[in-house]
């Protein structure tokens, strides 16, 4: 399944109950129309986020989703009328950047993300344009709700009453672990780098000889697993790695670059159009994946230091001297505590076999080999009113706030025209 079809939000027109969507109006809120296709899209996006084996009443789900969409429009109508509620361009840009970065993080490389965008007929710029109105609306809703509910308070008695009423349905406190680690990254050897560069240069020569950039990309994608190529569309300098940006903006339209090296591998870039702040380019990426020899070299180093630790070497000092993790090396490999369900899957079993203060033998991940030391472990448990009062108070306050927001939306509804059409969603 293509990740982009889920996370980029391509227009999904699947029916809410498996039938074909009949384009029409689901509801009218003031001067805003909610289309059947918009409702179907939201329902489909929700269904993609849940366990495919779970049973979902799509009719009830559609009713609930439509109700939320109507409420959102009512809140937005109030926000637009309130001249004190302002969303700045910087706020939109920052939230937009966070959202795009979150989407990109689901791909192994930025190049893979951009390639998927290309296959969906998108660029980063068009993706930003698509999300900008949604981001702005989200910020408007957050701001007006925060303004209306900023002074919501909750007493200790209310918290205790909430706990006794809802204790059976409260979420469990997830288990947590705190680790230190020593990372030995897979490092591409000079010989591996040279071999990839030679292949990339062959492709470049073919393209310069008139082989046709798309044809050359397709040929080398077929011959060498991992190679990706295609048209990226218009990009800005701040959207790509500096090396890639410099090479792209130095090209005249129609020109093909020399080999460009980034953290992802060797690139060949072809320019189509150059504007003041953006260029339209295609590229072919030849990734530098570690060879079996490179991987073996990382394991040998990890195992030799593991043996030194078994013999009594200090873990912190070993991490400071040898770890490839820049973020934790200076503090002896120590990481922030994290929920058990946030652990890399490959870490779960080795950590289950050690006690507090012990460390594992080398564990392989996509990054390389890790020696993990278990510093703290807290098992999953139910919330306790004495131990977790602040957490329970926040949950109780959220419930109270949601009730107040619901009452407020009901008041707005009395002033705004709302018409839910008969499309099989009314009871």
pLDDT tens profile 334-393: 999 998 888 888 999 999 999 999 999 999 988 899 999 999 999 899 999 999 999 999
Q: Residue 404: which pLDDT band, with cuts at 50, 70 and 90?
A: very high
What's the whole-number mean pLDDT along residues 126-153? 87
Q: Is the pLDDT of residue 35 over 90?
A: no
Percent of the chain with pLDDT over 90: 48
Asked if residue 319 belongs to a domain, the reply is yes
Residue 12: pLDDT band (50, 70, 90) is very low
Check pLDDT > 60 for residue 140: yes
Are 120 and 56 in a shared domain?
yes
* Same domain membership, residue 317 and residue 261: no
Residue 31 counted as domain residue: yes
CA-to-CA separations, 397 to 71, 141, 148, 159, 362, in angstroms, rounded = 20, 19, 14, 8, 45
116 in any annotated domain? yes
Domain assignment present for 425: no
The residues, ordered by sequence, that sit 6+ positions from 69 with a Cβ below 8 Å of its Cβ are 26, 27, 34, 38, 39, 42
**For residues 215 and 49, what is the distance between their CA atoms, to the nearest angstrom?**
37
Strands (E), 113-240: 176-185, 228-235
Looking at the structure, tell me whether residues 25 and 135 fall in a common domain: yes
The residue out of 267, 287, 307 marking a domain boundary is 287
Owning domain of residue 183: 176-189+292-378
For residues 8 and 150, membership in a common domain is answered with: yes
Strand segments, DSSP code E, in 236-367 are 260-262, 265-274, 279-287, 338-339, 363-364
User: Is 180 a residue whose pLDDT tops 90?
Assistant: yes
CA distances from 187 to 101, 139, 201, 277, 316 (A): 25, 43, 22, 35, 23
Q: How far is CA 181 from CA 155, 159, 401, in A?
A: 43, 40, 42
Asked whether residue 55 is assigned to any structural domain, the reply reads yes
Q: For residue 366, give Cα distances in angstroms to 185, 187, 239, 357, 363.
A: 9, 12, 25, 25, 10
Calculate the alpha carbon distances from 116 to 41, 54, 100, 223, 279 in Å. Answer: 20, 29, 13, 20, 19
Q: What would the two tokens of residue 256 be?
A: 């093909």
| Residue pair 92/99 in contact by the 8 Å Cβ criterion | no
Res. 203 pLDDT band, cuts 50 70 90: very high
Does 386 reside within a domain? no
User: How many domains does the chain divide into?
Assistant: 3
Structural domain ending residue among the three candidates 266, 287, 308: 287
Residue with tokens 């993300």: 113
Q: Which of 311, 313, 333 is nearest to 323 (CA)?
A: 333
Q: Assess whether pLDDT exceeds 70 at residue 427.
A: no
CA distance 269 to 257: 5
Q: Are 140 and 27 in contact (CB under 8 A)?
A: no
Is the full-model pTM beyond 0.85? no
Q: 202 with 185: CB under 8 angstroms?
A: no
**Residue 192 has what pLDDT?**
86
Q: Are residues 266 and 355 in the same domain?
A: no
22 pLDDT exceeds 50?
A: no
Q: For 82-102, how does the pLDDT look when each residue is reduced to its tens digit (9 = 90+)?
A: 889 999 988 998 888 888 887
What's residue 51's pLDDT? Answer: 64
- Give SS3 for 365: coil
Q: In this predicted model, what pLDDT tens digit does every residue of 284-296 receive, in sequence order? A: 999 887 888 888 9
Length of the chain (residues): 427
How far CA 341 is from CA of 270, 335, 344, in Å, comes to 43, 16, 8
Percent of the chain whose predicted confidence (pLDDT) is above 70: 91
Whether residue 11 sits in one domain with residue 143? yes
CA distance 7 to 103: 7
Q: Return the CATH number at 86.
A: 1.10.4030.10
Query: What pLDDT score was predicted for residue 422?
Result: 62
- Domain shared by 364 and 410, yes or no: no
Is residue 137 domain-shared with residue 185, that is, in the same domain?
no
- Asked whether residue 163 carries a pLDDT value surpassing 80, the answer given is yes
Is the domain of 28 the same as that of 144? yes
Instruction: Kindly report which listed range (46-50, 90-94, 250-254, 268-272) carries the lowest average pLDDT score.
Output: 46-50
Query: Residue 271 domain-assigned?
Result: yes
Pair 51, 78 in one domain: yes
The closest of 11, 22, 12 to 424, measured between CA atoms, is 22
Is residue 184 located within the same domain as residue 331? yes
Q: Which of 259, 287, 315 is the last residue of a domain?
A: 287
Contact (CB, 8 A) for 124 and 118: no
pLDDT: is 192 or 312 the higher one? 312
* Domain annotation covers residue 11: yes
pLDDT above 90 for 23 = no
Which tokens in the block code for residue 351?
Answer: 């950590």
**Same domain flag for 22 and 138:** yes
């Amino acid at each position: 399944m293509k990740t982009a079809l889920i996370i980029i939000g391509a227009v999904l027109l699947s029916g809410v109950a498996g039938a074909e969507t009949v384009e029409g109006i689901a509801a009218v809120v003031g001067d805003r129309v909610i289309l059947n296709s918009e409702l179907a899209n939201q329902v489909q996006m929700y269904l993609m986020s849940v366990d495919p084996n779970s049973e979902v009443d799509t009719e009830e789900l559609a009713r609930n989703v439509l109700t939320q969409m109507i409420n959102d429009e009512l809140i937005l109508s109030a926000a637009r009328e309130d001249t004190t509620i302002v969303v700045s361009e910087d706020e939109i840009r920052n939230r937009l950047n966070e959202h795009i970065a979150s989407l990109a993080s689901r791909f192994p490389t930025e190049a893979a993300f951009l390639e998927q965008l290309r296959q969906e007929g998108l660029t980063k710029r068009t993706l930003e344009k698509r999300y900008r109105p949604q981001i702005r609306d989200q910020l408007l809703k957050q701001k007006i709700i925060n303004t209306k509910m900023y002074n919501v308070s909750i007493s200790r008695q209310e918290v205790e009453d909430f706990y006794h009423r809802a204790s059976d349905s409260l979420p469990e406190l997830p288990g947590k672990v705190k680790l230190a680690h020593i990372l030995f990254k897979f490092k591409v050897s000079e010989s591996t780098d040279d071999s990839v560069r030679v292949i990339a240069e062959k492709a470049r020569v073919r393209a310069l000889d008139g082989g046709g950039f798309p044809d050359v990309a397709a040929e080398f994608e077929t011959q060498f697993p991992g190679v990706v190529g295609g048209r990226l569309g218009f990009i800005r300098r701040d959207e790509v790695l500096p090396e890639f940006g410099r090479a792209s903006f130095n090209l005249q339209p129609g020109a093909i670059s020399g080999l460009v090296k980034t953290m992802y591998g060797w690139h060949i870039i072809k320019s189509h159009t150059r504007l003041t702040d953006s260029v339209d380019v295609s590229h072919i990426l030849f990734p530098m994946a570690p060879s079996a020899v490179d991987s073996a070299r990382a394991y040998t180093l990890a195992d030799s230091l593991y043996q030194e630790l078994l013999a009594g070497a200090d873990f912190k000092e070993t991490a400071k001297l040898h770890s490839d993790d820049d973020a934790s090396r200076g503090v002896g490999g120590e990481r922030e505590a994290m929920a058990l369900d946030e652990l890399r899957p490959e870490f779960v079993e080795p950590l289950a076999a050690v006690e507090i203060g012990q460390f594992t033998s080398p564990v392989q991940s996509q990054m390389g080999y890790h020696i993990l030391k278990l510093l703290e472990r807290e098992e999953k448990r139910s919330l306790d009113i004495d131990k977790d009062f602040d957490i329970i108070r926040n949950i109780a306050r959220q419930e109270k706030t949601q009730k107040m927001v619901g009452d407020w939306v009901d008041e707005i509804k009395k002033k705004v025209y709302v018409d839910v059409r008969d499309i099989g969603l009314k009871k």
